[in-house]
Amino acid sequence: MRFSPNRFQPIALAILIALSLACSTASAQPARSDNPYLGYWKIEEPAGDSCFIVIKSHGQASTFWSGAIDHIESGEWTRREDSLLITWDTGYTDVLRRNEDETVTRETFPPGRSVHQEPLLVARGEKLERDVIGSLTTSPSDSAREAPTQQEPPHHQPEPGELRNRFVGYWEIEQGGTDFMGLRGVRDRFFLRIARDGTTAATQRNWSDEYRNQTGRWQVNEDELRIRWPSGHVDALRPTEDGSFAMLSWTPRQDESGRHDRKVAARMVSAAQVRGLFHAGHTTQVSIEDFIGPWTEEHVAPGANRPHLKIERWGNAYRYIDPEKPALGRIPGEWKMGRDGIVVTWQDGVRDVIEVTQRGTFVQATFSVGTPVTGTPEERRPVRRITRQEQATTEAQAMARERAAAESRRR
């Protein structure tokens, strides 16, 4: 029985499959040889995530981000002499230019800005195969199934146009000044992550233990980004007259429409600068190809070929009921790519997360039915992928045993 995704309402999955089919049709067009831009492109964003652009025939285009897969923009493209201009339905414009090494450079222009002016962002990207995009499917209902905290702030889902706002990324915030009680902070700065999915996290902030590790929600209001935390704290990132940025903060007891508690300098930093604090920049260390294939526990000897689960392309996965007895059957599931690994949701409701460690090894965390992947796993164990060489060796040994058995019977 094949795993049915209906229970997960895979809206994004259906859309992405439609994109794949559309692009497949485009690849069959003779125009492909005349337009090298047709196909899938992966752009590494300065904010640390990835943007995927699908250039289809007949002037159509679509785009989405690894941090917000259920938000998809549509647009129309026009071929120019040395570039491809894409006008998105959100008012943004992208210009793609091919480089000598077959990569592309993408220039992004906000609504109202001419492509002859300075771009808002400049990033490079590479072409992808169609099956890579297929494994990035997700469901907008995933986050809704996670049990919210009692103090969770109002859940604002970013509009498509907000996904490209200039605040998304990583920020360094000063906090070395005196607070309202005249006490100095323990650290002179903290770091803030503004994720494209509407969430916010802070690290090294001078908060008491009860307020640490909370996840906030952001919303763009005119020319500022406002963050509301479960604790009741409110922050606002806002540009200043000299072209820099500042953060304004309100305590839970203050009215955010009134005077703020403090105002400090803020500046955007690259994902590479905060590597390890938010697992930023870590996504480039693993790819889909690192997970495709059969997996076994680390302690299983090489050559034993005793997989307990298998990851296939297009988001399919299988978990063996008993690795010692494969004939007992397997449980199907579907997986999606995360920041540092993959999340597998099995047909029986169990979830597994396979992720890479700082040492470059892999661990598998198993979550029981009803437990969110942000909670405590039921089991956590080191795992490794069975190499193709191991598989080939095991198959050769099995064939040798079969030949020996057949020869023995003939005798």
Question: In this predicted model, what pLDDT tens digit does every residue of 3-14 receive, in sequence order?
Answer: 333 333 344 444
pLDDT tops 60 at residue 166: yes
297 and 308 in contact (C-beta within 8 Å)?
Answer: yes
Rounded to the nearest 10°, the torsion over CA 14, 19, 21, 22 is 140
Vertex 235 angle, CA 230 and 239, to 5°: 155
The DSSP letter of residue 21 is H
Amino acid 105: pLDDT: 94
Taking CA atoms, 396 is separated from 21, 197, 403, in Å, by 39, 48, 11
Residue 251: partners with Cβ closer than 8 Å, 6 or more residues away: 180, 232, 233, 261
Residue 42: partners with Cβ closer than 8 Å, 6 or more residues away: 50, 51, 52, 125, 126, 127, 128, 132
* Tokens representing residue 166 in the block: 């200039």
Residue with tokens 């992947």: 373
Q: What is the CA radius of gyration of the chain?
A: 25
Amino acid 59: pLDDT: 93
- Greatest alpha-carbon span in the chain: 95
* Tokens representing residue 250 in the block: 């309100």
Amino acid 303: pLDDT: 55
Residue 368: partners with Cβ closer than 8 Å, 6 or more residues away: 350, 378
Give residue 281's pLDDT band: very low, low, confident or very high (50, 70, 90).
very low
Structure-model confidence comparison of residues 18 and 124, the more confident one: 124
The DSSP letter of residue 148 is P
| Mean residue pLDDT across the chain | 76
- Nearest-angstrom CA–CA distance, 370 and 107: 43
239 and 248 in contact (C-beta within 8 Å)?
Answer: no
Q: Domains of the chain (ranges plus CATH)? A: 5-134 (2.40.128.640), 147-271 (2.40.160), 286-391 (2.40.160)
Average pLDDT estimate for 297-322: 78
251 and 228 in contact (C-beta within 8 Å)?
Answer: no
* Tokens representing residue 364 in the block: 């598998």
Give residue 66's pLDDT band: very low, low, confident or very high (50, 70, 90).
confident
Residue type, 298: E
Residue 146: partners with Cβ closer than 8 Å, 6 or more residues away: 372, 374
**% of the chain with per-residue pLDDT over 90:** 27
Amino acid 113: pLDDT: 92
Closest CA to 136 of 257, 51, 56, 200: 51
For the purposes of burial, counting CB atoms within 10 Å of the CB of 330, is it exposed (0-12), middle (13-18) or buried (19 or more)? middle
pLDDT tops 70 at residue 249: yes
**% of the chain with per-residue pLDDT over 70:** 72
Amino acid 14: pLDDT: 44
- Nearest-angstrom CA–CA distance, 50 and 394: 38
Amino acid 279: pLDDT: 55
For 305, phi then psi, to 5°, come to 50, 55
Highest mean pLDDT among 28-42, 156-170, 280-294, 343-357: 343-357
Lowest mean pLDDT among 25-34, 222-231, 384-393: 25-34
SS (H, E, C) 291-307: CCEEEEECCCCCCCCCC
Structure-model confidence comparison of residues 289 and 180, the more confident one: 289
